[in-house]
Amino acid sequence: MFCCLLPKFIKKYICYSVLIVFGFSFSQEKQKSSFIDVNYFKGTIALHDDSILRLITGQPEGTIIGWNKKTFGEKLWQQRYNYPDYGVSFSFQNLKNPTLGNNYALYAHYNFYFFKRHLLFRIGQGLAYTTNPFNKINNPNNVAFGSDILSSTYILLNYKKERIFNVFGIQAGLSLIHYSNANVRAPNGSTNTLALNVGLTYNLDSQDKEYIKDDKAKEKYREPIKYNFAFRSGVNESDIIGSGQFPFYILSAYADKRLSHKSAVQFGVDAFFSKFLEELILFEGTAFPERNQDPNADYKRVGLFVGHELFINKLSIVTQLGYYVYYPFDFESRTYIRVGFKHYFGKKIFGAVTLKAHGARAEAVEFGVGIRL
């Protein structure tokens, strides 16, 4: 009788969830210490830019399906982070607007736990495919997605209760899903979906192992100052649609001081060589003489930055705040931010994928390599 009272979309979601959970569990029956979760979400697109106002016409909804590998402290970093999970997840989102279409995304993610493991915080990063990107003839109104491949980040903050009924559990909470191509191609209004979500969890083994505790995980850790050199590159386009994609190059040098196993602070300098900016300066100087812009102004920029690095095993999360000390052309803002991930190959060599932005406006996705001495 209770099921008869449920809305159709909830009943459909429950049916699909059960089918997915059972189907996936059979294919993963040999995977130990892992679980599957299926989350339905529904919410709204946040208005962060007036350009996308006309695209917010409904309440986006979708599903996030995740496979999660549990940790129990076999490695010390797992104990320091309260035994997190890591895994992969897939999402489908109907943006409830024919101009925007639907988005499909694949992510790598981490789950972190608080309050006796009842509060789950997940962060996922990956790539998305959108079904209806901007097209100047067929879809000129989609100023949010200028390309069919997007960068996507999502966050879940859920209350979670495992094994309510045998291997089944529930979770519910808030989610934020971001899509952007980071100005690889214009336009790039991007979207941020704020949503409520509810989900089922299914453990692939009957009971969990015991958590390992080692006093070594609590030992203090320090390092002397280290010196880093990095090279980043990629392609991007100005906000002028059809202006073309151009390469950029960034040289960075910075010092970092490791404060603990988890944390380090940074201070350094960036030199930016962005060819799209050279073209933009020339365009504005010749097309808009009333702005008194010198078409031969220098397109290069130099910035000083402070930052923080959070170490999670061989992966780290980087956040930096910078200020241009050499800024001959006024583009967006004199301050910039950089967020992203680094992966260490040994103790000295690292690769990085980062996003550079001015406030809410992304400038570029940067792919980099570097050395820490």
Q: How far apart, in whole angstroms, are the C-alpha atoms of residue 194 and residue 143?
A: 19
Q: pLDDT by residue (tens digit) across 307-343?
A: 999 999 999 999 999 999 999 999 989 999 999 999 9
In which band, very low, low, confident or very high, does the pLDDT at 2 lie, cut at 50, 70 and 90? very low
Lookup: tokens for 262:
């988890």
Q: Where is the domain boundary, 148, 173, 203?
A: 203
Q: Which of 96, 25, 94 is nearest to 63 (CA)?
A: 94
123 vs 31, more confident: 123
Residue 105 Cα to chain centre, angstroms = 12
For the chain, the average pLDDT equals 90
197 with 245, same domain: the answer is: no
Give pLDDT, residue 21. Answer: 45
Which pLDDT score, from 0 to 100, does residue 182 have?
A: 87
Number of folded domains in the chain? 2
- Across 327-337, b (16+ Cβ under 10 Å) vs e yields eebebeeeebb
Torsion of CA 192, 236, 315, 174, to 10 degrees: 0
The domain of 68 spans: 7-203
Answer yes or no: do 175 and 64 share one domain: yes
Do 145 and 282 fall into the same domain?
no
pLDDT of residue 32: 65
Q: What is the mean pLDDT of residues 190-204?
A: 95
Domain co-membership, 94 together with 226: no
Does some domain include residue 336?
Answer: yes
- 33 & 182 share domain: yes
User: With contact defined as beta carbons under 8 Å apart, do 146 and 181 qualify?
Assistant: yes
Is the domain of 184 the same as that of 229? no
Candidates 221, 203, 213, 217; CA nearest to 85 is: 203
Which of 153, 168, 203 is the last residue before a domain boundary?
203
**How confident is the model over 128-149, as pLDDT tens digits?**
999 999 999 999 999 999 999 9
Quick one: pLDDT at residue 354? 96
